[in-house]
């Protein structure tokens, strides 16, 4: 045996590939055969072709420019230049010189201010009763106006008179007796009303106690309103001491505490 590098392996022989038999030619000619001997490509299938519709065309919008208005004919002498040429607006309507009155002032019309609807009402400068100058605060003057009618101080008692502020003292001094009678009758009426109200409250208190039943604890049920206290008893003057002046002084001295003199030192 010899080494492999001295006797290399021989390549294997290739197998012969069998040849395909040639196609037989038919006597009828092939319609798809080309004159050069090849076959023509098959026509495209109509069922596989997709027909796409053409995209709609956009409507073009044509913008119509407005026609310029024809200028009004200018008569001669109305601010037109010689030869029929028109002057600019500033030259046709010249502005008034400074300091001259405006057109509304010349015509007598009052111009409207921007806050014409919110303007305050006109405040009277004088009082209608005393003809005094009230300024810008008529409500403050009304509190001190001498001619302003005010009710009587005894209005709660029943006096319904309305007297000027300056004559109020004279009315009170002239009707002292009538005012006293009104005050007396008013106090009696108030006392009766208070008594009726107390009776009604006591009746309500009794109904509450009856509905609640007897108390479960000792003691009387708590009252809603206590009855009025009894008036205090009149004070009697002290009894007079029957006896002489010496006996009175002796009684006073017996009630006093006697004070002994201090003892001397060493005793």
pLDDT tens sequence across 159-197 = 888 999 888 889 988 888 898 999 999 999 999 999 999
- In the DSSP assignment, the letter for residue 165 is G
How distant, in Å, are the alpha carbons of 4, 45, 63 from that of 10? 12, 57, 93
Which residues have a Cβ under 8 Å from the Cβ of 91 and sit 6 or more positions away?
79
For residue 231, the SS3 value is coil
Token pair for 103: 């057109």
Asked whether residue 173 is domain-assigned, the answer is yes
Beta bridge partners of 164: 149
197 lies in which domain range?
149-210
Our CA angle for 112, 113, 117, nearest 5°, is 90
- In the DSSP assignment, the letter for residue 26 is P
Q: Please state whether beta strands 162-164 and 149-151 pair in parallel, antiparallel, or not at all (unpaired).
A: antiparallel
Cα–Cα dist 133/125, whole Å: 6
Asked whether residue 260 is domain-assigned, the answer is no
Measured torsion, CA atoms of residues 69, 73, 78, 82, in degrees rounded to the nearest 10: 100
Asked whether residue 165 is domain-assigned, the answer is yes
Asked whether residue 235 is domain-assigned, the answer is no
Report the domain count for the chain. 1
Query: Maximum CA pair distance of the chain?
Result: 195
- Residue 188 confidence (pLDDT): 92
Asked whether residue 189 is domain-assigned, the answer is yes
105 phi and psi angles, rounded to 5 deg: -70, -35
- Residue 249 confidence (pLDDT): 75
- Name the strand (E) or helix (H) holding 168: helix 168-174
Asked whether residue 179 is domain-assigned, the answer is yes
Cα–Cα dist 154/176, whole Å: 10
In 4-14, which positions are buried (b, 16+ CB within 10 angstroms) versus exposed (e)? eeeeeeeeeee
Cα–Cα dist 87/85, whole Å: 7
Our CA angle for 192, 195, 199, nearest 5°, is 140
pTM value is 0.30
Q: Taking the mean position of all CA atoms in its chain, how far away is CA 42?
A: 89
Asked whether residue 105 is domain-assigned, the answer is no
Spans in the chain with pLDDT lower than 50:
46, 76-77, 90-91
Asked whether residue 182 is domain-assigned, the answer is yes
Cα–Cα dist 38/250, whole Å: 180
């Amino acid at each position: 045996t010899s080494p492999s590098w001295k006797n290399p392996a021989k390549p294997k022989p290739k197998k012969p590939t069998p040849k395909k038999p040639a196609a037989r030619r038919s006597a009828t000619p092939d319609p798809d055969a080309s004159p050069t001997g090849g076959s023509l490509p098959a026509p495209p299938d109509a069922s596989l072709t997709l027909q796409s519709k053409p995209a709609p065309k956009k409507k073009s919008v044509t913008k119509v420019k407005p026609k310029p208005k024809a200028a009004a004919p200018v008569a001669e002498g109305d601010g037109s230049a010689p030869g029929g040429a028109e002057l600019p607006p500033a030259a046709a309507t010249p502005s008034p010189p400074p300091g001259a009155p405006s057109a509304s002032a010349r015509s007598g019309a009052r111009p409207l201010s921007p806050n014409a609807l919110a303007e305050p009402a006109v405040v009277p400068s004088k009082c209608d009763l005393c003809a005094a100058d009230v300024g810008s605060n008529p409500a403050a003057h009304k509190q001190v106006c001498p001619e302003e009618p005010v009710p009587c101080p005894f209005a709660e008692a029943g006096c319904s008179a309305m007297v000027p502020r300056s004559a109020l003292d004279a009315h009170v001094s002239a009707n002292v007796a009538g005012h006293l009678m009104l005050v007396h009758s008013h106090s009696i009426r108030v006392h009766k009303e208070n008594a009726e109200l107390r009776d009604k409250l006591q009746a309500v208190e009794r109904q509450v106690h009856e509905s609640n039943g007897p108390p479960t604890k000792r003691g009387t049920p708590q009252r809603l309103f206590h009855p009025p206290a009894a008036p205090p008893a009149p004070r009697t003057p002290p009894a007079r001491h029957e006896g002489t002046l010496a006996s009175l002084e002796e009684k006073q001295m017996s009630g006093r505490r006697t004070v002994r003199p201090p003892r001397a030192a060493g005793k």
